């Protein structure tokens, strides 16, 4: 079972070396965060002027993680919305990294230590 610590580490690896404050400003300010599991569950991203909820609560804990915007944009591109695969220009998530995020969402997107 993937933990939030695993997810946070994975997302950190994907944006390593990037200007995080600038990235937050570009993608929605304080609403674009994954410092805690709660923040990630509530996170939104603004892409090309449109706001997307990264993890729709209706898709958590029921095997529907692949339908979340977070997983879709990491697997990307989302061609019908003309959105490139993220992080923009890579490095892109490996299948194993996406599995960590998918498993965490499918298992309920819980805080570590909460059952």
pLDDT at res. 113: 67
Please tell me whether residue 53 adopts helix, strand or coil conformation.
strand
Q: What is the gyration radius of the CA atoms in the chain, in angstroms?
A: 13
pLDDT digits (tens, 9 = 90+) for 36-71: 999 999 999 988 889 999 999 999 999 999 999 999
Q: In degrees rounded to 5, what are phi and psi of residue 94?
A: -80, 170
Chain-wide mean pLDDT for the chain? 92
Domain locations in the chain as residue ranges: 4-106
Sign of CA dihedral 66, 72, 74, 76: positive
pTM score above 0.75: yes
pLDDT digits (tens, 9 = 90+) for 26-45: 888 888 889 999 999 999 99
Q: How far apart are CA 7 and CA 28, in angstroms?
A: 20
């Amino acid at each position: 079972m993937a933990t939030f610590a695993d997810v946070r580490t994975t997302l950190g690896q994907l944006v390593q070396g990037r200007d995080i404050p600038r990235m937050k400003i570009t993608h929605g300010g304080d609403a674009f965060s994954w410092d805690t599991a709660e923040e990630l569950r509530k996170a939104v991203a603004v892409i090309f002027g449109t706001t997307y909820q990264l993890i729709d609560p209706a898709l958590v804990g029921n095997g529907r993680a692949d339908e979340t915007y977070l997983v879709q944009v990491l697997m990307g591109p989302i061609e019908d919305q003309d959105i490139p695969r993220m992080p923009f220009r890579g490095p892109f998530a490996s299948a194993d990294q996406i599995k960590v995020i998918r498993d965490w969402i499918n298992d309920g997107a819980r805080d570590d230590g909460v059952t």
